[in-house]
A = this chain, B = another copy of it.
Amino acid sequence: MPESLAGREVLVTGGLGFIGSNLVIQLVERGAKVTVLDRVSGEFGGRVDNLRDVSRAVAIVDGDVRNEAVLQELLPGKEVVFWLAAQVSHPLSMSDPLTDVDVNLRSQLQMLEVCRRKAPTAKIVSTSTRQVYGRTTQHPVSESHPTSPVDVNGISKLAAEHCYRLYSEVYGLRTISFRLTNTYGPGMDLRSPGRGFINACLSQALHGDPVTLFGTGEQTRDFTFVDDVVDALLLASVQKSDFGRTYNLSGPSPCSLKQFVMTLNQYLPVTVRTVPFPDERLAIDVGNYWGDSTAWHQRTGWRANTKLEDGLKRTVEYFLSHRECWEHSNVSSVPAKTDGRVR
């Protein structure tokens, strides 16, 4: 795979974010010419810090993916587009649903429109969410499971998946999408609220606070280490046919929230506080989830190789040596005003 990305012009939206920055680091190691489009600050902003080790090798554009002019400027000439920019908070998608639609659907449709005119042969790799399934009825969940999202985030992402499929079918765009499940690892955003269980749990444990479990903590999840997700994204970018499809990416094995906390306890002292499910969270909770990645495995041989204990060990080590990523209070959410190049 490395030779396939060397020298390639690659755009990563959301490249300052958690998964995006891990991807960018791998792309730089493989010799790709990487441009990152992200908000350098602001409510959906990533962290320039996340690219501290590779920032000299990357062009970072401080811009909003909702701004069509930025897409018009950046997309022509790109050979690979990784679309990782997203409004990722499920609760926020309910309190501000229109922003969710704008960021998670409208901006991607805008990008597809620009690509079909100005970058029609680019590989386009995008990330969706297991949330598109809603409350699942059979496990493991394969891609053919019915979709019935339980929040606006899932609705926007599902509609975006349909757009990627449609633009592949109608215009021949080379799209591949992934439904991610709970992803963890170095570079996670531990400072913004509403980012889900793993983020809250790690942040609480690092601060020495009790970890909060809603309900019994027996809910099953499917935890995927970020390097495994990045491997899948890189594999997608070098596919040569069979575009327009969406694949699950799942972890090595299902695991309860309680087990997650117990595993974390091997590397960080953790105390647990169980509280009843808050009503507004219960309304959008999907219950147990465990996905089936057979389709992507059969296509590419990919597997989630990183066991939870190994992934959590590396995650804790990262955050203990980067205390600035979690020690202070939440970042301000003043939106950035500029759309100009930072570097």
Residues of A at the B interface (CB closer than 8 Å) are 94, 97-98, 101-102, 105-106, 109-110, 113, 146-152, 154-156, 158-159, 162-163, 165-166, 169-170, 283-284
Whether B113 lies near A109 (C-beta < 8 A) is no
Nearest 6 A-B pairs (CB), nearest first? A159-B159, A155-B162, A170-B283, A155-B159, A97-B109, A101-B106
Q: CB-nearest residue of chain B relative to A149?
A: B162
Whether B94 lies near A110 (C-beta < 8 A) is no
How many Å from the CB of A112 to the closest CB on chain B?
A: 8
Whether A165 lies near B152 (C-beta < 8 A) is no
Q: Chain copies in the assembly? A: 2
Whether A94 lies near B162 (C-beta < 8 A) is no
> Across the interface, which residues of B come within 8 angstroms of A170, CB to CB?
94, 150, 283-284
Q: State A341–B283 Cα separation when bound (angstroms).
A: 39
**Contacts known (A110-B98, A284-B170); A163 close to B159, Cβ less than 8 A:** no
Among candidates B113, B152, B283, residue contacting A163 with C-beta atoms closer than 8 Å: B152
How many Å from the CB of A15 to the closest CB on chain B?
A: 24
How many Å from the CB of A68 to the closest CB on chain B?
A: 9
Q: State A146–B145 Cα separation when bound (angstroms).
A: 10
How many Å from the CB of A94 to the closest CB on chain B?
A: 7
How many Å from the CB of A177 to the closest CB on chain B?
A: 14
> Across the interface, which residues of B come within 8 angstroms of A155, CB to CB?
159, 162-163, 166
> Across the interface, which residues of B come within 8 angstroms of A163, CB to CB?
97, 152, 155
Whether B105 lies near A109 (C-beta < 8 A) is no
Q: CB-nearest residue of chain B relative to A105?
A: B101
> Across the interface, which residues of B come within 8 angstroms of A166, CB to CB?
149-152, 155
Q: State A170–B97 Cα separation when bound (angstroms).
A: 13
Q: State A136–B284 Cα separation when bound (angstroms).
A: 31
Whether A106 lies near B110 (C-beta < 8 A) is no
Provide a sorted-by-A list of 29 A–B residue pairs whose CB atoms are within 8 angstroms: A97-B109, A97-B163, A98-B106, A98-B109, A98-B110, A101-B101, A101-B105, A101-B106, A102-B106, A105-B105, A105-B159, A106-B106, A109-B152, A148-B162, A148-B165, A149-B162, A150-B166, A150-B169, A151-B166, A152-B163, A155-B159, A155-B162, A155-B163, A155-B166, A156-B159, A158-B159, A158-B162, A169-B283, A170-B283
